[in-house]
């Protein structure tokens, strides 16, 4: 600065600025001090209120937390309840119940999922596994027994959720031979469970693969409707579910077995075929569910992911065994009373017969109808399937609704049994079923009786058709409609095991088929109906070659496992359980099935009560039915006390009983015509004696004492008691033995009497040596005398009824191989084969006759076109 620069103004300015700065600083300090004091006061105030504020915030925080937790609990409870309800829907009834409260629930809808345990959660949720119609199942873990317990629980829940037969099991357990799941053993008898042995796996896999192929082909053909009715019985599926349980401790499968198992795994689920495997890994697939036990009963499943599943313990052994026994036995069927109406005999058969046989799937009674359509019925089912019970059910329904004026029954049973004998009077029960007019039992060897019934029905058909024509009624139904009180009763002929009647290539079969075809075709219009039943598929096949006949049997009734009754594509009979039947009134066509649960109609005591009640309603005025028992020997009939007048037409000898609907005797009329002699042929001594005794007793009763001569000779010691007993019964009888035989023939050969003379010779062929001996020059031999008696005796009223033990011996006695046998006008063959009878028969080679116990073949040249079978009487002297 220059020395001469003035300092005053500058200093003043500086001073002013400093003063201003100091003033500003003091103001700022004061302001800061005030602010500090205010802040300190505020801080002190805040610090004073902080505990209260903290308490308020903590309260607010706790309230928010509590509200959030309450909301979580509510939402969790809602979700848990929804999940539990969903689990109950997915695994209803037995599929989801725990063991303490577990019971079978076959009436609920089929299981979608099966309970395996609970998810480790609070609260726990049911852990479910999809199996049926959804997946296969593979289980693994350190302890096989734990896994077997899980499988037992799944199978029990599965079986308890569907009706009997809805699930079928195959259990392959090579290590313990089925012991791991032994509680299900009672189901083997009901064909619900099959235990597969160590060597049976290949066949089982092949069988399941074939089932899958068949089911898939059915689906592709659009034929699932053919078992729609069965689906209502079995549950969700028209086919039963099939489950293969593999309890394998190794993976040692052959390449063929592995390939077949892969096929089952690929296509099985869609066809209802499932695999549950323990110890045998299954390939990773979308339809293979897994259960892996990690520790004790804790497991992971493919459905629950990382969530831990606490598996249910195995079901109690007594629960499994008890359920299996109950399931195998099935529910007790209803009794025959379920088929009876409130009031008996109120229905008219003028237009049709209609009667229930059991309960349908909806709980209503299913009725069988016979009329113009369908006219006849075909019943089939293997042995033990309930065919006899079904027939009893039908008969109960018919006989309780239709009186004897409305219905006639003809019942034949060709098998070795007496199923229908209860409907005829017996020593234990004198009553009978009033509608029954004929009963045939134990006739498996007497096909001719079935033929006799068909002839009887054919004659009745002709009679009714003729009567209808006279009344100018073209249809019996129209005649009945005009005169409902005067119509004929409908006839139902039931032939059980009918294939016996058609089983041979002979004249019986030929005539039976012709009669059946005529009756089946024309019977409906005259109220005659046929019911044919068989337990053997060959019996049904006996019809299939005769299309005209089988086409008339439009009502088909198939019992479980019946074959060839329904249409080929109709599988319903394969699916129904025991005590059920498939009723189809459209010749077995797909879609016409009715599934029927049959009551138990076999209670003999109850049947007797019902039968006695019906019998009482008729006041016992009806004649008892004709009972033909193939194993019974007919008793010799009671002869009239007053001799009939046979002087004009000749006396009649009764030889036995014919196999006929009417209890008709086999008769031989002894007139003066040539050849009116009888030869009994064979070695069966009791029957030969019975025939000659029957003839002698009846001939003696037809003559006043002293008006006829009787001669008895016996040359067989075994026959002597019977011959002497006959001689005692014949008035004025002359007895001869071997020593007096030649004098007897000499006397007879004179033919010096015109009054009847009957000669009975037992075992005549035994005297051949002495009859053939030369007696003297010009004197006839005993054979010559015998031939004279046989050839010329009948014209002089002398008739010989003799017993020869073979046809060759008879020929020798009559002159050898060149002898004419015209003098034997009638013969009865016992144990003589048909070809041996050629010399006596008009049929080349002899009749078609195969000897049977207590049966004889009778031919009378004067009356028969063909031989007929007779049964020798049982004669008690």
Q: Residue 219 burial (CB < 10 Å; 0-12/13-18/19+)?
A: middle
- Mean local confidence (pLDDT), 675-691: 96
Model confidence band, residue 224 (pLDDT cutoffs 50, 70, 90): very low
Comparing 175 with 420, the larger pLDDT belongs to: 420
pLDDT at 813 over 80: yes
- Mean local confidence (pLDDT), 432-443: 92
* Nearest alpha-carbon partner for 528 in 606, 582, 468: 468
Model confidence band, residue 111 (pLDDT cutoffs 50, 70, 90): low
pLDDT at 78 over 80: no
The string of pLDDT tens digits covering residues 573-609 is 888 888 899 999 999 998 899 999 999 998 888 988 9
Model confidence band, residue 28 (pLDDT cutoffs 50, 70, 90): confident
Task: Look at residue 82 in the predicted model and tell me its pLDDT.
Answer: 62
Rounded to an integer, what distance in angstroms lies between the CA atom of residue 600 and that of residue 609? Answer: 15
- Mean local confidence (pLDDT), 85-111: 78
SS3 of residue 490 by DSSP: strand
Instruction: Kindly state the DSSP code that residue 817 receives in the 8-state scheme.
Output: T
pLDDT at 473 over 50: no
Q: Please, what is the end-to-end C-alpha distance for the chain in angstroms?
A: 190
What contacts 422, CB < 8 A, 6 or more positions away? Answer: 429, 604, 607, 608, 611
Per the structure block, which two tokens stand in for 133?
A: 């119609």
- Mean local confidence (pLDDT), 236-244: 76
- Mean local confidence (pLDDT), 489-508: 90
Q: How far is CA 288 from CA 129, 244, 271, 282, 825, in A?
A: 11, 14, 15, 7, 86
Rounded to an integer, what distance in angstroms lies between the CA atom of residue 824 and that of residue 674? Answer: 9
Q: What is the mean pLDDT of the chain?
A: 86
**109-112, long-range: CB within 8 Å, 24+ apart, which pairs?**
109/235, 109/236, 110/161, 110/162, 110/166, 110/235, 110/236, 110/237, 111/157, 111/158, 111/161, 111/162
Task: Look at residue 696 in the predicted model and tell me its pLDDT.
Answer: 96
Task: Look at residue 652 in the predicted model and tell me its pLDDT.
Answer: 93
Q: Give this prediction's pTM.
A: 0.71
Q: How far is CA 257 from CA 193, 273, 310, in A?
A: 21, 16, 34
Model confidence band, residue 855 (pLDDT cutoffs 50, 70, 90): very high
The string of pLDDT tens digits covering residues 268-297 is 998 889 999 998 889 999 999 999 999 888
Model confidence band, residue 77 (pLDDT cutoffs 50, 70, 90): low
pLDDT at 647 over 70: no
Comparing 367 with 383, the larger pLDDT belongs to: 367
Report the percent of the chain where pLDDT is more than 70: 89
Candidate from 34-43, 161-170, 805-814, 858-867 with smallest mean pLDDT: 34-43
Contact 423, 440 (CB under 8 A): no
The string of pLDDT tens digits covering residues 93-105 is 888 889 888 998 8
Rounded to an integer, what distance in angstroms lies between the CA atom of residue 489 and that of residue 405? Answer: 6
User: Within a 10 A sphere around the Cβ of 343, how many other Cβ atoms?
Assistant: 8
Model confidence band, residue 235 (pLDDT cutoffs 50, 70, 90): very low
Report the percent of the chain where pLDDT is more than 90: 49
pLDDT at 780 over 70: yes
Angle formed at CA 841 by CA 837 and CA 843, multiple of 5 degrees: 110
């Amino acid at each position: 600065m220059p020395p001469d620069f003035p300092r005053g103004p500058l200093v003043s300015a500086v001073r002013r600025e400093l003063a201003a700065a100091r003033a500003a600083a003091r103001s700022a300090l004061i302001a800061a001090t005030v602010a500090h004091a205010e802040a300190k006061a505020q801080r002190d105030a805040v610090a004073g209120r902080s505990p209260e504020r903290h308490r308020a915030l903590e309260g607010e925080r706790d309230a928010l937390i509590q509200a959030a937790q309450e909301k979580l609990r509510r939402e969790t409870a809602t979700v848990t309840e929804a999940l539990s309800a969903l689990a109950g829907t997915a695994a209803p009834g037995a599929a989801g119940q725990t063991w303490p409260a577990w019971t079978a629930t076959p009436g609920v809808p089929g299981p979608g999922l099966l309970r395996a345990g609970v998810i480790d959660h609070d609260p726990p949720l049911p852990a479910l596994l999809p199996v049926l119609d959804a997946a296969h199942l593979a289980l693994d873990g350190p302890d096989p027994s734990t896994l077997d317990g899980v499988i037992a629980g799944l199978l029990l829940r599965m079986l308890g959720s569907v009706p009997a037969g809805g699930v079928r099991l195959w259990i392959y357990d090579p290590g313990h031979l089925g012991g791991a799941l032994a509680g299900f053993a009672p189901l083997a008898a009901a064909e619900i469970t099959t235990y597969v042995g160590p060597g049976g796996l290949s066949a089982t896999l092949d069988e399941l693969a074939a089932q899958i192929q068949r089911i898939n082909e059915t689906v592709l053909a659009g034929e699932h409707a053919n078992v729609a009715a069965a689906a209502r019985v079995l549950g969700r599926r028209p086919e039963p579910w099939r489950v293969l349980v593999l309890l394998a401790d190794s993976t040692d499968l052959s390449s063929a077995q592995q390939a077949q198992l892969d096929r089952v795994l690929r296509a099985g689920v869609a066809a209802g075929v499932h695999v549950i495997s323990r110890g045998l890994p299954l390939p990773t697939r979308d339809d293979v569910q897994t259960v892996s036990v990690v520790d004790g009963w804790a497991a992971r499943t493919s459905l629950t992911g990382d969530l831990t599943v606490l598996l249910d313990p195995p079901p109690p052994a007594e629960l499994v065994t008890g359920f299996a026994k109950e399931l195998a036995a099935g529910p007790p069927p209803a009794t025959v009373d379920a088929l009876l109406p409130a009031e008996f005999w109120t229905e008219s058969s003028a237009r049709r017969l209609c009667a229930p046989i059991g309960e349908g799937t909806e709980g209503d009674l299913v009725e069988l109808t016979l009329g113009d359509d369908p006219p006849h019925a075909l019943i089939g089912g293997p042995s033990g399937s309930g065919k006899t019970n079904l027939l009893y059910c039908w008969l109960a329904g018919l006989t309780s609704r239709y009186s004897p004026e409305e219905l006639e029954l003809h019942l034949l049973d060709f098998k070795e049994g007496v199923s229908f004998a209860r409907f005829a009077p017996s020593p234990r029960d004198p009553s009978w079923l009033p509608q029954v007019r004929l009963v045939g039992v134990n006739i498996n060897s007497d096909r001719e009786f079935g033929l006799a019934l068909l002839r009887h029905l054919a004659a009745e058909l002709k009679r009714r058709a003729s009567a209808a024509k006279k009344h100018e009624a073209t249809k019996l139904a129209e005649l009945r409609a005009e005169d409902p009180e005067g119509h004929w009763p409908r006839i139902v002929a039931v032939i059980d095991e009918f294939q016996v009647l058609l089983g041979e290539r002979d004249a019986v079969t030929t005539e039976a088929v012709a009669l059946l075809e005529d009756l089946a075709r024309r019977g409906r219009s005259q109220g005659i109906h046929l019911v044919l039943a068989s337990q053997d598929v060959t019996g049904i096949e006996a019809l299939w070659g005769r299309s005209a006949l089988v086409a008339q049997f439009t009502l088909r009734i198939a019992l479980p496992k019946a074959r060839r009754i329904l249409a080929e594509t109709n599988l319903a009979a394969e699916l129904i359980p025991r005590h059920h039947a498939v009723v189809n009134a459209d010749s077995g066509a797909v879609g016409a099935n009715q599934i029927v649960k049959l009551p138990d109609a076999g209670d003999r005591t109850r049947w007797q009560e019902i039968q006695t009640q019906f019998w009482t309603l008729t006041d016992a005025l009806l004649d008892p039915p004709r009972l033909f028992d193939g194993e019974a020997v007919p008793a010799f009939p009671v002869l009239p006390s007053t001799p009939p007048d046979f002087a004009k037409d000749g006396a009649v000898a009764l030889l036995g009983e014919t196999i006929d609907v009417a209890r008709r005797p086999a008769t031989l009329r002894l007139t003066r015509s040539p050849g009116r002699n009888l030869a009994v042929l064979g070695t069966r001594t009791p029957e030969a004696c019975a025939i000659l005794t029957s003839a002698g007793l009846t001939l003696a009763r037809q003559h006043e004492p002293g008006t006829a001569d009787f001669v008895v000779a016996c040359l067989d010691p075994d026959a002597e008691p019977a011959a002497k007993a006959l001689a005692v019964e014949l008035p004025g009888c002359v007895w001869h033995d071997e020593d007096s035989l030649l004098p007897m023939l000499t006397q007879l050969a004179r033919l010096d009497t015109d009054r009847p003379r009957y000669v009975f010779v037992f075992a005549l062929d035994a005297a051949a040596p002495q009859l053939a001996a030369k007696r003297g020059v010009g004197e006839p031999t005993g054979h010559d005398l015998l031939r004279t008696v046989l050839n010329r005796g009948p014209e002089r009223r002398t008739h010989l009824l003799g017993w020869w033990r073979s046809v060759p011996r008879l020929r020798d006695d009559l002159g050898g191989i060149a002898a004419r046998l015209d003098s034997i006008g009638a013969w009865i063959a016992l144990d003589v084969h048909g070809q041996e009878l050629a010399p006596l028969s008009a049929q080349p080679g002899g009749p078609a006759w195969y000897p049977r116990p207590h049966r004889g073949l009778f031919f009378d040249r004067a009356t028969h076109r063909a031989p007929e079978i007779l049964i020798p009487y049982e004669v008690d002297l």
